[in-house]
Structure 1
Amino acid sequence: MSGVRRIAVLGAESSGKSTLCQALAQRYGTLWVPEYLREFVDTHGRVPFETDQYGIARTQRAREDEAAARANRFLFCDTTPLMTALYSRAYWGRVDAGLERLAATHDYALTLVTAPDTPWIADGLMRDSEEVRERVFGMVERELDERGIRFVLVEGDLPHRLRQVEAALRVLAPLDAL
């Protein structure tokens, strides 16, 4: 369906991105794109190497493109290539050129950032620590500011986060369409 607005949901590990995306998709009768990194880790039984990052980001974006063709008005994207690039910088101190080009195409109608104010939960290979979560959260905010990407910080429990997103979406879309 043309006219679908992609909504980027960024944030550090264990900050409620997936929970928020799933709830938003249900609320608006549309689709959400789960974070491919989780599937990658489960399938490979390991965290990614630096050389895996570009492929992970390409797969994430390809899944967005596929879901956008079937979504209804909004598509909620649980992370984006920009987040993959940020993690590359955090873990390896650099971002390869292909990944950087893909991350630069951050063309979402709205960018949400989940605050790290939910309980931190260990999740096998996917999660480092609460300290890393706080550091990555700061990196996300700085990265978006440096790139001039406006974002809405969503905080609190799920009902509060949903109300914050609903208010932001009202600015994006006519009231009668929500």
Structure 2
Amino acid sequence: MIVGAECSGKTSLAQALATHYNTVWVPEYLRDFVAQHQRTPKEHEQIDIARMQVQREAEMLPQANRFLFCDTSPLMIRLYSEHYFGKADLALFELAATHDYDFTLLTSPDFAWVDDGLQRESPAVRQRIHDKLQQELEEREIPHLLLAGGMQERLDQVAFAMDFLIGA
């Protein structure tokens, strides 16, 4: 899974990794939701967004060529729910806690922040979410690779780690 705060390069990285490894990737469902409804989701919609993200992952898995790159996860949806609504639905907590991935990539917020008019709030919120996410990964002892730098640097970091992990 690829996780990171808003505007930290998750989508671009997922696309680039899928191309590099000749496989498919799962886009962030939240983007489709926001585009369709022309608004950010309400608190009660968070769990359905997370479930749809997981459903799309399951649908794409048979098409994957060894790897499936997932742009975000229920964990990110839970963290944003806590940030914007001060809490997250119990079902969202459970989904975020039980949905597991083989490898976690954390994107640094070192790309230029760009306002999209709907979803993104500010560079300060991006940094706050990044810090919370990194703390969560460490507290839950979820092994992860922190990626920084430009796209080629990030691709090189992932390729090095994946080659090591799979013994290539």
Query: Scaled by the length of structure 1, what TM-score is found?
Result: 0.92
Q: Secondary structure at the match of 2:113?
A: coil
- Deviation per CA, 1:115-162: give whole Å up to 9, x if none: 000111111201101111111110110111121111100000000000
> Which residue is equivalent to 2:150?
157
Q: CA deviation at 1:172?
A: 2.5
Q: CA deviation at 1:59?
A: 0.2
Distance 1:171 1:55 in 2: 36
Distance 1:124 1:71 in 2: 33
Query: Scaled by the length of structure 2, what TM-score is found?
Result: 0.98
Distance 2:64 2:153 in 1: 24
> Which residue is equivalent to 1:71?
64
Distance 1:43 1:147 in 2: 34
Which residue of 77, 84, 90 corresponds with 2:83? Answer: 90
Which residue of 111, 119, 123 corresponds with 1:118? Answer: 111
Q: CA deviation at 1:27?
A: 0.3
Q: Percent identity?
A: 52
Distance 2:166 2:51 in 1: 28
Aligned length: 168
Distance 1:133 1:23 in 2: 22
Which residue of 44, 48, 65 corresponds with 1:51? Answer: 44
Q: What is the identity, as a one-letter code, of the residue corresponding to 1:157?
A: G
Q: CA deviation at 1:41?
A: 0.4
Which residue of 151, 161, 164 corresponds with 1:168? Answer: 161
- Deviation per CA, 1:94-116: give whole Å up to 9, x if none: 11111111101241111000000
Distance 2:148 2:69 in 1: 17
Q: Secondary structure at the match of 2:57?
A: helix
- Deviation per CA, 1:29-63: give whole Å up to 9, x if none: 00010100010000011100000000000000000
Distance 2:45 2:161 in 1: 34
Gaps of 5+ in 2: none
The RMSD of aligned alpha carbons is: 0.8
Gaps of 5+ in 1: 1-7
**Superposed counterparts of 1:97-116, under 5 Å:** 97-116=90-109
Q: What is the identity, as a one-letter code, of the residue corresponding to 2:165?
A: L
Distance 1:106 1:141 in 2: 18
Distance 1:145 1:93 in 2: 21
